[in-house]
Amino acid sequence: MYRFLLSRQWVILTLLALALVPVMTELGFWQLHRHQARVAHNEATAASLAADPVPVAELTGTARPPADEDRYRPVTATGTYDSAHEVVVRRRTAADGREIGYFVLTPLVREDGSAVLVNRGWVPAPGDQTTYPEVPKAPGGTVTVTGRLLPDETTASTGIKVRGGLPDRQVMLINSEQRAREIGRPVLHGYLELTGTRPQPPAGRLAQQIPEPDHSGVGAHLAYAVQWWLFTAAVPVGWVVLVRRELRDRARAARDGDGPSAGTAGRAPALAAGAPGTAD
Protein backbone atom coordinates (compact mmCIF):
# COMPACT_ATOMS: atom_id res chain seq x y z
CA MET A 1 0.00 0.00 0.00
CA TYR A 2 2.81 2.39 0.86
CA ARG A 3 5.38 0.97 -1.52
CA PHE A 4 5.19 4.21 -3.54
CA LEU A 5 7.10 5.88 -0.67
CA LEU A 6 10.18 4.02 -1.89
CA SER A 7 10.02 5.69 -5.29
CA ARG A 8 12.75 8.20 -6.15
CA GLN A 9 10.40 11.18 -6.01
CA TRP A 10 9.00 10.28 -2.60
CA VAL A 11 12.39 9.48 -1.12
CA ILE A 12 13.67 12.89 -2.24
CA LEU A 13 10.60 14.65 -0.87
CA THR A 14 10.84 12.84 2.48
CA LEU A 15 14.55 13.62 2.85
CA LEU A 16 13.88 17.26 1.99
CA ALA A 17 11.16 17.43 4.66
CA LEU A 18 13.47 15.82 7.23
CA ALA A 19 16.18 18.38 6.43
CA LEU A 20 13.84 21.37 6.55
CA VAL A 21 12.40 20.62 9.99
CA PRO A 22 15.61 21.08 12.04
CA VAL A 23 16.82 23.96 9.88
CA MET A 24 13.61 25.97 10.29
CA THR A 25 13.41 25.07 13.98
CA GLU A 26 16.92 26.47 14.48
CA LEU A 27 16.04 29.61 12.52
CA GLY A 28 13.10 30.13 14.86
CA PHE A 29 15.33 29.89 17.93
CA TRP A 30 17.85 32.25 16.28
CA GLN A 31 15.14 34.88 15.91
CA LEU A 32 13.96 34.23 19.48
CA HIS A 33 17.48 34.79 20.80
CA ARG A 34 17.70 38.04 18.84
CA HIS A 35 14.42 39.13 20.42
CA GLN A 36 15.70 38.27 23.89
CA ALA A 37 18.97 40.13 23.26
CA ARG A 38 17.04 43.21 22.12
CA VAL A 39 14.82 43.12 25.21
CA ALA A 40 17.88 42.77 27.47
CA HIS A 41 19.59 45.67 25.68
CA ASN A 42 16.51 47.87 26.10
CA GLU A 43 16.27 47.03 29.79
CA ALA A 44 19.96 47.77 30.36
CA THR A 45 19.68 51.07 28.47
CA ALA A 46 16.60 52.11 30.45
CA ALA A 47 18.33 51.26 33.74
CA SER A 48 21.42 53.30 32.78
CA LEU A 49 19.38 56.32 31.72
CA ALA A 50 17.36 56.24 34.95
CA ALA A 51 20.41 56.05 37.23
CA ASP A 52 21.50 59.03 39.30
CA PRO A 53 24.43 61.03 37.87
CA VAL A 54 27.88 60.28 39.27
CA PRO A 55 31.22 62.05 38.72
CA VAL A 56 32.69 60.94 35.41
CA ALA A 57 35.97 59.87 37.01
CA GLU A 58 34.13 57.11 38.90
CA LEU A 59 33.32 55.30 35.62
CA THR A 60 36.24 56.09 33.32
CA GLY A 61 39.77 57.43 33.36
CA THR A 62 42.83 58.12 31.27
CA ALA A 63 43.94 54.49 31.63
CA ARG A 64 40.62 52.63 31.71
CA PRO A 65 37.63 52.83 29.36
CA PRO A 66 34.04 52.85 30.63
CA ALA A 67 32.47 49.43 31.17
CA ASP A 68 29.81 48.16 28.79
CA GLU A 69 27.16 48.29 31.51
CA ASP A 70 27.86 52.01 32.02
CA ARG A 71 26.87 52.99 28.49
CA TYR A 72 24.41 55.93 28.66
CA ARG A 73 24.99 56.33 32.41
CA PRO A 74 24.47 59.97 33.48
CA VAL A 75 27.71 61.53 34.69
CA THR A 76 28.91 64.97 35.71
CA ALA A 77 32.15 66.83 35.08
CA THR A 78 33.40 70.25 36.15
CA GLY A 79 35.98 72.33 34.31
CA THR A 80 36.54 74.91 31.60
CA TYR A 81 35.98 74.38 27.90
CA ASP A 82 39.07 74.33 25.67
CA SER A 83 37.54 76.00 22.61
CA ALA A 84 40.92 76.23 20.90
CA HIS A 85 40.88 72.46 20.42
CA GLU A 86 37.22 72.19 19.53
CA VAL A 87 36.42 70.09 16.43
CA VAL A 88 33.34 69.01 14.57
CA VAL A 89 32.48 65.39 13.73
CA ARG A 90 31.44 64.95 10.12
CA ARG A 91 28.35 63.28 8.63
CA ARG A 92 26.14 63.13 11.68
CA THR A 93 22.36 63.10 11.54
CA ALA A 94 19.99 65.59 13.14
CA ALA A 95 17.45 64.43 15.72
CA ASP A 96 14.75 64.07 13.06
CA GLY A 97 17.06 61.88 10.96
CA ARG A 98 16.50 63.98 7.85
CA GLU A 99 19.54 66.25 7.68
CA ILE A 100 23.27 65.56 7.74
CA GLY A 101 25.49 67.90 9.69
CA TYR A 102 28.11 67.88 12.44
CA PHE A 103 28.50 67.08 16.13
CA VAL A 104 30.36 69.76 18.10
CA LEU A 105 33.11 68.13 20.17
CA THR A 106 34.79 70.29 22.80
CA PRO A 107 37.30 69.19 25.47
CA LEU A 108 36.37 70.13 29.02
CA VAL A 109 39.58 70.60 31.04
CA ARG A 110 39.21 69.46 34.63
CA GLU A 111 41.02 70.75 37.71
CA ASP A 112 43.69 68.02 37.54
CA GLY A 113 44.62 69.01 33.98
CA SER A 114 42.97 66.06 32.26
CA ALA A 115 40.13 66.59 29.82
CA VAL A 116 36.88 64.88 29.01
CA LEU A 117 35.34 65.15 25.55
CA VAL A 118 31.88 66.68 25.46
CA ASN A 119 29.58 66.28 22.48
CA ARG A 120 27.72 69.59 22.80
CA GLY A 121 25.16 68.71 20.13
CA TRP A 122 24.37 68.91 16.44
CA VAL A 123 24.73 71.79 13.99
CA PRO A 124 23.75 71.90 10.28
CA ALA A 125 26.40 71.67 7.60
CA PRO A 126 27.15 74.73 5.47
CA GLY A 127 26.82 74.51 1.71
CA ASP A 128 30.56 73.98 1.40
CA GLN A 129 31.58 71.00 3.56
CA THR A 130 35.20 72.08 3.52
CA THR A 131 34.23 75.17 5.54
CA TYR A 132 34.05 75.04 9.31
CA PRO A 133 30.36 75.34 10.26
CA GLU A 134 28.83 78.02 12.41
CA VAL A 135 29.08 76.65 15.93
CA PRO A 136 27.54 78.06 19.14
CA LYS A 137 30.31 79.34 21.34
CA ALA A 138 31.12 77.20 24.37
CA PRO A 139 30.33 78.82 27.73
CA GLY A 140 33.28 80.58 29.33
CA GLY A 141 34.53 80.11 32.87
CA THR A 142 34.02 77.09 35.07
CA VAL A 143 30.96 75.00 34.28
CA THR A 144 29.51 71.73 35.47
CA VAL A 145 28.10 69.57 32.72
CA THR A 146 25.85 66.54 32.85
CA GLY A 147 25.81 64.01 30.05
CA ARG A 148 25.36 60.42 28.97
CA LEU A 149 28.63 58.47 29.07
CA LEU A 150 29.53 56.65 25.86
CA PRO A 151 32.60 54.63 24.81
CA ASP A 152 35.06 55.82 22.19
CA GLU A 153 34.02 55.38 18.59
CA THR A 154 36.18 53.18 16.41
CA THR A 155 36.03 52.05 12.81
CA ALA A 156 35.04 48.57 14.01
CA SER A 157 32.22 49.77 16.27
CA THR A 158 30.72 52.31 13.87
CA GLY A 159 31.59 51.04 10.40
CA ILE A 160 32.81 54.54 9.55
CA LYS A 161 35.94 54.58 7.44
CA VAL A 162 38.48 57.17 8.47
CA ARG A 163 40.09 58.91 5.53
CA GLY A 164 42.88 61.42 5.33
CA GLY A 165 42.84 64.91 3.91
CA LEU A 166 39.95 66.18 6.04
CA PRO A 167 39.42 69.93 6.36
CA ASP A 168 40.97 71.65 9.35
CA ARG A 169 39.26 70.93 12.71
CA GLN A 170 37.05 68.18 11.28
CA VAL A 171 37.15 64.52 12.33
CA MET A 172 35.23 61.37 11.45
CA LEU A 173 35.14 59.65 14.87
CA ILE A 174 34.83 60.64 18.51
CA ASN A 175 37.91 58.99 19.95
CA SER A 176 39.67 60.08 23.13
CA GLU A 177 43.08 58.66 22.18
CA GLN A 178 43.11 60.53 18.87
CA ARG A 179 42.06 63.77 20.53
CA ALA A 180 44.64 63.35 23.33
CA ARG A 181 47.42 63.29 20.72
CA GLU A 182 46.04 66.44 19.11
CA ILE A 183 45.50 68.55 22.21
CA GLY A 184 48.61 67.41 24.09
CA ARG A 185 47.01 66.51 27.40
CA PRO A 186 45.54 63.33 28.96
CA VAL A 187 41.93 62.69 28.01
CA LEU A 188 39.48 60.41 29.81
CA HIS A 189 38.32 57.45 27.73
CA GLY A 190 34.89 57.78 26.17
CA TYR A 191 32.89 60.98 25.90
CA LEU A 192 29.77 62.73 27.17
CA GLU A 193 26.59 63.47 25.23
CA LEU A 194 25.64 66.78 26.79
CA THR A 195 22.25 66.96 28.52
CA GLY A 196 22.72 69.92 30.86
CA THR A 197 25.07 72.74 31.90
CA ARG A 198 25.37 74.83 35.05
CA PRO A 199 25.26 77.74 34.82
CA GLN A 200 22.80 77.43 31.95
CA PRO A 201 23.98 79.32 28.83
CA PRO A 202 21.53 81.36 26.74
CA ALA A 203 19.37 79.33 24.37
CA GLY A 204 21.04 80.88 21.33
CA ARG A 205 24.38 79.44 22.42
CA LEU A 206 23.23 75.84 22.44
CA ALA A 207 23.66 73.30 19.68
CA GLN A 208 20.74 70.98 18.95
CA GLN A 209 20.71 68.52 21.82
CA ILE A 210 21.02 64.81 21.03
CA PRO A 211 17.94 62.84 22.12
CA GLU A 212 18.34 59.84 24.37
CA PRO A 213 18.48 56.50 22.57
CA ASP A 214 15.24 54.73 21.70
CA HIS A 215 14.87 51.77 24.01
CA SER A 216 11.21 50.95 23.47
CA GLY A 217 11.15 48.96 20.24
CA VAL A 218 11.86 45.23 20.11
CA GLY A 219 11.56 44.72 16.37
CA ALA A 220 9.81 41.84 14.64
CA HIS A 221 12.16 39.05 15.74
CA LEU A 222 9.56 37.31 17.90
CA ALA A 223 7.06 37.32 15.04
CA TYR A 224 9.72 35.89 12.72
CA ALA A 225 10.44 33.14 15.25
CA VAL A 226 6.76 32.17 15.37
CA GLN A 227 6.62 32.18 11.55
CA TRP A 228 9.59 29.81 11.29
CA TRP A 229 8.03 27.43 13.80
CA LEU A 230 4.72 27.52 11.92
CA PHE A 231 6.63 26.65 8.76
CA THR A 232 8.29 23.81 10.68
CA ALA A 233 4.92 22.42 11.76
CA ALA A 234 3.58 22.76 8.21
CA VAL A 235 6.25 20.47 6.76
CA PRO A 236 5.08 17.16 8.35
CA VAL A 237 1.45 18.19 7.96
CA GLY A 238 2.03 18.86 4.28
CA TRP A 239 3.87 15.55 3.89
CA VAL A 240 0.92 13.65 5.40
CA VAL A 241 -1.54 15.54 3.17
CA LEU A 242 0.45 14.55 0.09
CA VAL A 243 0.64 10.91 1.18
CA ARG A 244 -3.12 10.78 1.78
CA ARG A 245 -3.79 12.37 -1.60
CA GLU A 246 -1.52 9.84 -3.28
CA LEU A 247 -3.34 6.98 -1.54
CA ARG A 248 -6.69 8.41 -2.56
CA ASP A 249 -5.62 8.78 -6.20
CA ARG A 250 -4.30 5.22 -6.28
CA ALA A 251 -7.50 3.84 -4.72
CA ARG A 252 -9.59 5.71 -7.29
CA ALA A 253 -7.45 4.33 -10.11
CA ALA A 254 -7.87 0.81 -8.74
CA ARG A 255 -11.65 1.17 -8.55
CA ASP A 256 -11.78 2.39 -12.12
CA GLY A 257 -9.86 -0.73 -13.17
CA ASP A 258 -7.06 1.25 -14.76
CA GLY A 259 -4.24 -0.55 -12.95
CA PRO A 260 -1.50 0.94 -10.86
CA SER A 261 0.04 2.86 -13.77
CA ALA A 262 -3.12 4.66 -14.82
CA GLY A 263 -4.61 7.91 -13.59
CA THR A 264 -2.48 9.58 -10.95
CA ALA A 265 -1.03 6.40 -9.39
CA GLY A 266 2.72 6.63 -9.19
CA ARG A 267 2.64 10.36 -9.80
CA ALA A 268 5.47 12.31 -8.09
CA PRO A 269 4.21 14.29 -5.09
CA ALA A 270 3.67 17.97 -5.72
CA LEU A 271 6.20 20.14 -3.97
CA ALA A 272 3.86 23.09 -4.25
CA ALA A 273 0.06 22.98 -4.09
CA GLY A 274 -1.40 22.05 -7.44
CA ALA A 275 2.02 21.40 -9.07
CA PRO A 276 1.98 18.45 -11.52
CA GLY A 277 4.11 15.38 -10.77
CA THR A 278 6.36 13.27 -12.93
CA ALA A 279 5.58 9.63 -13.71
CA ASP A 280 7.86 7.18 -11.96
Task: Give per-residue pLDDT as tens, 157-188.
Answer: 888 888 788 999 999 999 999 999 999 999 99
The rounded distance, in Å, linking the Cα atoms of 266 and 44 is 60
Q: Is the pTM of this model over 0.95?
A: no
Which percentage of the chain shows pLDDT scores above 90?
A: 69
Of these ranges, 72-76, 125-129, 240-244, the one predicted with the greatest mean pLDDT is 72-76
pLDDT above 70 covers what percent of the chain? Answer: 91
Q: Is 77 exposed, middle or buried (0-12, 13-18, 19+ CB in 10 A)?
A: buried
Q: Where residue 272 falls among pLDDT bands split at 50, 70, 90?
A: very low
The three-state (H, E, C) secondary structure of 1-46, written as one string: CCHHHHCHHHHHHHHHHHHHHHHHHHHHHHHHHHHHHHHHHHHHHH
Range in 63-77, 103-117, 124-138 the model is least confident about: 124-138
